[in-house]
Every structure is written in C-alpha cells, then in structure tokens.
Amino acid sequence: MSDPFEGMAAFLAVAETLNFRRASERLGVTRSAVSQAVRRLEDRIGVPLLQRTTRSVRLTDAGAHLFAATRPALAEIGTALEVIASTHGAPGGTLRLAVSSIAESILEGEALAGFLAAYPSVGVDILVTDEEFDIVAAGFDAGVRLGEAIEQDMIAIPVSAPQRQLVVASPTYLAEFGRPAHPRDLLAHRCIGWRPAPDVAPYRWEFTEDGRDFDIAVNPRVATNDMGMMVRLALAGAGLTCGMEETFRPHLERGALEAVLEAFCPPFAGFHLYYPSRRTVPLRLRALIDHLRARNGASPRASRQG
C-alpha cells in the first residue's frame, strides 16, 4: 500500500520557500530528490501543484489550496512529535521569531541572552522586520509587535513596559530653529520621517490632546526605513524625528537629544510576543514564554478576542 503522505514534506518545503535549493537545504537532501518527490506527488494526485520556470517557482491554484489546507495540521503533528520526543528532556531545536525593528526590549539582547543561557539546546533565528504578514504561513513560531498591531486570533503576552512615542531633536537644532509648542507646529520644522517602503506614504506622527487621538502628516525632509539612520541624523542636528522612547533613552539621558511635545505623548500598551492558538505549543516556545513571563511578571492573555 502506498504512503498517501509521500512527497508532502518536500512539497511543503518548496511551498514555504518557493525555491527548490532552499527547500533541499531545509530537508537535508539533494535538490533533485526534492524535485522528484514533488513530481511523484503531482503524478499521484493528477494535478500540477507548482509552476516551474528557470527563474521562479509559483504555486498553482491547486497547490495553494493544498498548502493552506494541510500545513496547519502537519504543523500540529510535528509539534506533537516534538513534545513527545522531548517529554523527558530539555527543550531543543530552533525558535524562529519575527521581531519589529523598534522592539528594543527584545533586540537589546538581555532577555534573549538570559533565555539562551537557561536553554543551551535551543537556537534562535530572528527576522527583524516591520512588514505585516502571516507568521504561521511563513513558518515562524512567534512574533513581537506592539499590541495594537496583533491579529485578533493570536495569543499574546506583554514583553515590555508601557511605551511612549516621543518627538526628539538635538539641542543644536532646537537652539537654531526653536521648540514646537503644538504638534501642528511640526509642519514648519525640518522632520526626519519613517517610511516602511518606497511605495508607502511616510508614517503620520500620532499624538493625543484632551483624550482625543490625532495625527500629523509631516512632510519629512528625509524619509527612511532605518530607525538607526533617523537617530543618527537627529543627533547630527538635521531635524526632529519621532520614535519609541526606549530607542532614544540613552541619548536623552546623556543630553544628546531632547524631547519636545511630551504633553501630547501619553504612554500606551507596549510590545507583545504573539503566537497562534494551538492545542500544542512547541516546548522551545513554551520555554521562551515562561522565561519572558518571569522576567516581566506578566501573564499570557488572548489578544483582543472577539
């Protein structure tokens, strides 16, 4: 009797990476073996699952349907096998995380360094990105974002203190151009803005006045997707910029940057580790959750269910 699941691991690896070479590296077999396994699967079900060209690989409609329908179930099976295999041992394997570029509480390294020291058999693969995407479909165990940006069907735990977004500039800039008294004054200032991609409008700076939230569409003299460059330009006196307080804190403490408009910048809920609601959570992710809970004194919660 033939195995009805033969070729599925190869197909899923190609579907996730859209690349036969990367799929072969993930599975630890040759590219030819992956191609042949997928071809046998297609021959068995009588439907092409992939469109192959010399330069690209794409899912057919049937392939996309199969990928969407089977991947969550196979992920559950893989997690269950991992839990059973590790019942009497320490968590192991690689934990894949997608982390926002402004999540300093994670990227500063102390939280993860403590986790790695406590669990030497676990590795961490981190993608720093501000792109919004389906972490489950992309093969990540969890992500870290601001709580307000997390999908409603995810489980989330806080991994930072409440945050504030500040507008800052160097003392040199403020001495030459003055301090804005109200967010609308920013329209007359040199601003350094954040733009996630070339085809996306620059981020609108957000404020609160008398309990009412509003935003200002500044016209940045410089726009970039690199927060580090924004900070360096502000330090050099190029203008005002806007970002998370914890990003600016070292420069604020030594007086290299000064905050303005603080009355319009109240605190809000901070960063959360989020992951899909599953019956079985991988041990390595459970270990990270427990580590961060102990570090932050937080309890897991469902994020905006409803």
pLDDT at 297: 64
pLDDT at 73: 72
- Per-residue pLDDT at 306 exceeds 80: no
Calculate mean pLDDT across residues 34-48. Answer: 89
pLDDT at 88: 55
- Per-residue pLDDT at 83 exceeds 80: no
pLDDT at 28: 83
Which DSSP string do the residues of 80-98 spell out, in sequence order?
HHHHHHTTTS---EEEEEE
What's the pLDDT tens digit per position in 219-276? 899 999 998 999 999 999 999 999 999 899 999 999 999 999 999 999 988 888 888 8
Most confidently modeled range among 6-15, 53-62, 130-139, 163-172: 163-172
Looking at the chain, the whole-number percentage of residues with pLDDT higher than 70 is 89
Q: From the CA atom positions of the chain, what is the Rg in Å?
A: 24
Using CA atoms, how far apart are residues 216 and 304, in angstroms rounded to an integer?
27
Band of residue 304 on the pLDDT scale cut at 50, 70, 90: very low
End-to-end CA separation in angstroms for the chain: 46
Closest CA to 122 of 292, 283, 290, 277: 283
DSSP helix/strand/coil, 112? helix
Using CA atoms, how far apart are residues 249 and 108, in angstroms rounded to an integer?
12
Using CA atoms, how far apart are residues 273 and 96, in angstroms rounded to an integer?
12
Most confidently modeled range among 24-33, 68-77, 135-144, 213-222: 213-222
What's the pLDDT tens digit per position in 106-157? 877 888 899 999 999 899 999 988 888 888 777 788 999 887 777 777 888 8
Closest CA to 106 of 126, 130, 92: 126
Backbone angles phi, psi at 174, to 5 degrees: -65, -35
Total residue length of the chain: 306
Calculate mean pLDDT across residues 9-18. Answer: 86
List strand residue ranges (DSSP E) for the chain, in order.
50-52, 57-59, 93-99, 122-128, 142-146, 154-158, 165-169, 191-194, 205-209, 212-216, 222-224, 240-244, 258-260, 271-276, 301-302
Residues 70, 63 contacting (CB under 8 angstroms)? no
- Per-residue pLDDT at 305 exceeds 50: no
Closest CA to 12 of 29, 37, 32, 47: 37
pLDDT at 279: 60
Domains of the chain: residue spans and CATH: 8-69 (1.10.10.10), 86-153+269-296 (3.40.190.10), 163-267 (3.40.190.10)
Task: Tell me the C-alpha to C-alpha distance, in Å, between residue 202 and each of 72, 129, 198, 216.
Answer: 36, 17, 9, 11
Neighbours of 137 (CB within 10 A): 13
- Using a cut of 0.85, tell me whether the model's pTM lies above it: no
Using CA atoms, how far apart are residues 119 and 121, in angstroms rounded to an integer?
6
